[in-house]
Amino acid sequence: MPKQIITSPDAPTTGFTDKATPSPLAQAIRFGNMLFVSGQGPMDPKTREVVQGDIAVQTRQTLANIQNVLKAAGATFQNVINMRVHLRDTADFPVFNEVFREFMAGEKVTRTCVGSVLHRKGANVEIDCIAMFD
């Protein structure tokens, strides 16, 4: 079974390259009934620039980017089983978690959240996830 590359025009594709260079990454890859979504951050899909704002603004943008990649794969947050979260500053966790709770609207996932040094300047959150299909 070949892997299927998933691409959404409504989410950024990054790879820490300059804007003129094609990314070496896929936004997501579906293999069988599993979907692996690359780490998404608080980037505007059109400009590929980090959105300005606090952790709440950046978390909403990051989750919206993930939601758009899931949609391109025919999935929603209901399909997500695991998420990994990287925060530049762990002191942001309470605000991040409140926005996460609001955005997920009661949907449950397993999640790991760690403090990390994020590569993209100005990005304070990055999230990747794994989703399953029936």
Edge-to-edge strand list for the sheet holding 28-31: 4-6, 28-31, 34-40, 125-132, 80-87, 110-115
pLDDT of residue 23: 79
- pLDDT tens digits, 32-53: 999 999 999 999 999 889 999 9
pLDDT of residue 51: 96
Q: What whole-number distance in Å separates Cα of residue 90 and Cα of residue 60? A: 17
In this prediction, residue 20 carries a pLDDT of 75
Q: Are 64 and 101 in contact (CB under 8 A)?
A: no
Q: Which residues of the chain have pLDDT under 50?
A: none
> Residue 74 CA to chain centroid, in angstroms?
16
Q: What pLDDT is stored for residue 78 in this prediction?
A: 97
What sign results for the dihedral spanned by CA atoms 65, 5, 109, 122?
negative
pLDDT recorded at residue 17: 63
CATH architecture designation of domain 4-15+25-132 = 2-Layer Sandwich (3.30)
The SS3 call for residue 39 is: strand
Give the other-Cβ count within 10 Å of 28's Cβ: 26
* CB within 8 Å of 95: residues ≥ 6 apart: 54, 55, 56, 59
Strand partners, 79: none
